[in-house]
Amino acid sequence: MFFALDHPQATDAMKPAIWHILGAGSLGSLWATRLHRAGLPVRLIVRDAARLAAYQAGGGLTLEHNGQRRTYPIEAQTLDSDEPIERLLVACKAYDAERAVRALTGRLAQGADVLLLQNGLGSQQAVADAVPHARCVCVSSTEGAFRDEDWSVVFAGQGFNWLGDPYDPAPPDWLNDLTASGIAHQWTPDIFARLWRKLALNCSINPLTVLHECRNGELLDHAQEVETLCAELAHLLTRCGQSEAASDLHAEVLRVIEATAANYSSMHQDVAQGRRTEISYLLGYACDVAARHHCPAPALYRLRERLIGYLKARGLRTD
Ligand code: NAD
Ligand code: KPL
């Protein structure tokens, strides 16, 4: 036998790396339950002892999919556990990601993989700067999930995950874990094009659904506004060297509006539930980049002003 069980190096090399999941919200729970269900080692990381006790009292994480509910007794720990981390899935909102990861820097092994699920742009770079000894992989996800109660998630929308490392095109070997878990994905050497494209879609749809207080489909009544935003965003993307992400943007925005006509956008849902939005990582990021590149974007700037005014009037954070 080549790998005797009492040989510590051999067993360590054979042990699959643990998936540490930071943020037991919608997407974090969706990933944690699917990875665990496939027999992979998973640890949920929650903020503090009180949250850990609440989680343990409930007996695990519940996943609801196609009307079937199942609870999985996934191990959990707090941020200040001393277990080293080799693979971390960051499933916080964009505005929480950097601070949450900084709390774990001492636990992150040299060369650890850090997967970033955040929507928009800006938070990924902030995290990468905070953990230069790790490999950060960005994920652009079109899956849909929401929490129906604490420690319970509903997998509401089949989608896809694009993954990539802007600094290293080589795919990691742990993509096999995603395949084994039934997580639809593909590695791409140009993840920024995916992130920019999604950001542009979100900027053309989400703020308008908030301001017009409507479902995605009702934006067809505001077709001129959508078209103007798409033209400015396409111009901005091209100026940033993202011409592929700019191509046929307006046509795709219309296609998404029609395909999701009955839905409320994620930003609309955040505002309706009095939650902070990710404005700074979506519209805010686009406006800042436009200013930096001296790229004319009057409709985008005006949209940001109107959205900030709307959020302020409702006592919501504007950053
Ligand atoms: P969420 O609010 O449901 O979950 C975030 C979780 O992170 C919360 O449980 C929060 O308590 C936890 N958290 C924050 N700071 C923490 C800390 N310091 N320590 C431990 N836990 C901490 O958010 P979500 O909907 O899962 O979204 C996560 C990201 O994924 C967002 O950027 C979002 O835009 C993106 N996204 C979400 C969906 C979706 O369907 N939910 C789809 C695509 C992309
Ligand atoms: O991703 C979305 C969201 O609501 O955040 C879509 C459906 C594409 C609308 O922008």
- Between the CA of 187 and the centroid of ligand 2 the distance, in Å, is 22
Say what the pLDDT of residue 15 is: 81
198 is catalytic: yes
Domain boundary among 140, 156, 189: 189
Number of independent structural domains in the chain: 2
Q: Give, for ligand 1, the residue of 64, 92, 183, 266 to mutate: max count of ligand atoms closer than 8 Å to Cβ.
A: 92
CATH number of the domain bearing residue 299: 1.10.1040.10
Q: Which domain-ending residue is among 149, 167, 189?
A: 189
Range of the domain at 299: 193-313
- For residues 211 and 297, state if they share a domain: yes
Q: Please report whether residue 167 resides in a domain.
A: yes
Taking the model in full, what pTM does it have?
0.95
Residues 6+ apart with CB under 8 A from 7: none
**Could you say which of 189, 218, 251 is where a domain stops?**
189
Beta bridge partners of 72: 61
The answer to whether residue 319 sits within a structural domain is no
Residue 318 lies in a domain: no
**262 assigned to some structural domain:** yes
Q: How many CA atoms lie within 13 A of 262 on its CB side?
A: 0
Do residue 185 and residue 198 come from a single domain? no
Instruction: Report the atom number in ligand 1 closest to the C-alpha of 94.
Output: 32
What is the layout of strands, in order, in the sheet containing 75-78? 75-78, 42-46, 19-22, 85-90, 108-116, 135-141, 161-164, 185-187
**197 and 240 share one domain:** yes
CATH number, domain containing residue 66: 3.40.50.720
Among 26, 163, 278, which is best to mutate for testing ligand 1, by the most ligand atoms less than 8 A from CB?
Answer: 26
Distance of CA 27 from the midpoint of ligand 1 (Å): 6
Q: List the chain pLDDT tens, one digit each, 319 residues.
A: 233 333 444 455 668 899 999 999 999 999 999 999 999 999 999 999 999 999 999 999 999 999 999 999 999 999 999 999 999 999 999 999 999 999 999 999 999 999 999 999 999 999 999 999 999 999 999 999 999 999 999 999 899 999 999 999 999 999 999 999 999 999 999 999 999 999 999 999 999 999 999 999 999 999 999 999 999 999 999 999 999 999 999 999 999 999 999 999 999 999 999 999 999 999 999 999 999 999 999 999 999 999 999 999 999 999 9
Q: State if residue 134 touches ligand 2 by the CB under 6 angstroms criterion.
A: no
12 occurs within a structural domain: yes
Does residue 198 lie in a domain region? yes
- Cβ neighbors of 168 (< 8 A, separation 6 or more) are 135
Supply the pLDDT for residue 4. Answer: 33
Of the listed ligands, the closest to the CA of 101 is 1
Q: What are phi and psi of 5, to 5 degrees?
A: -65, -20
Contact (Cβ atoms closer than 8 angstroms) between residue 64 and residue 154: yes
Query: What pLDDT was estimated at residue 56?
Result: 97
Distance 294 CA to ligand 2 centre (A): 27
Residue whose pair of structure tokens reads 């360590």 in the numeric block: 12
Statement to judge: residues 102 and 205 lie in one domain? no
Pocket lining: 240 vs ligand 2, CB cutoff 6 Å: no
Pocket of ligand 1 (CB under 6 A): 22-28, 45-47, 79, 91-94, 96, 100, 103, 117-119, 141, 143-145, 147, 278
User: In this structure, are 53 and 82 located in the same domain?
Assistant: yes
CA distance 284 to 280: 4
Verify that 294 and 211 share a domain, yes or no.
yes
Structure confidence at residue 157 (pLDDT):
86
Residues 43, 154: one domain? yes
> What's the CA-to-centroid distance between 266 and ligand 2, angstroms?
6
pLDDT the model gives residue 204: 98
Say yes or no: 202 and 285 in one domain. yes
CA distances from residue 130 to 123, 260, 278 in whole angstroms, order as listed: 11, 36, 20
Residue tagged active-site, from 15, 93, 198, 312: 198
Ligand 2 near 202 CB (within 6 A): yes
First to last CA, the chain: 59
Would residue 241 count as lying in a domain? yes
Q: Verify that 216 and 302 share a domain, yes or no.
A: yes
Q: Are residues 161 and 202 in the same domain?
A: no
Residues 51 and 66 grouped into a single domain: yes
Atom of ligand 1 nearest to the CA of 96: 15
Residue 260 in any domain: the answer is yes
| Phi, psi angle pair for 266, to nearest 5° | -60, -35
50 class by beta-carbon count within 10 Å (0-12 exposed, 13-18 middle, 19+ buried): exposed
Helix orientation angle between 191-211 and 298-313, rounded to the nearest 10 degrees: 60
pLDDT of residue 11: 55
The verdict on 127 and 208 lying in the same domain is no
Residue 266 to residue 260: CA distance in whole angstroms: 12
- Which atom of ligand 2 approaches the CA of 216 most closely? 9
> What residue owns the CA closest to ligand 1's atom 17?
100
Residue 172 Cα to ligand 1 middle (Å): 24
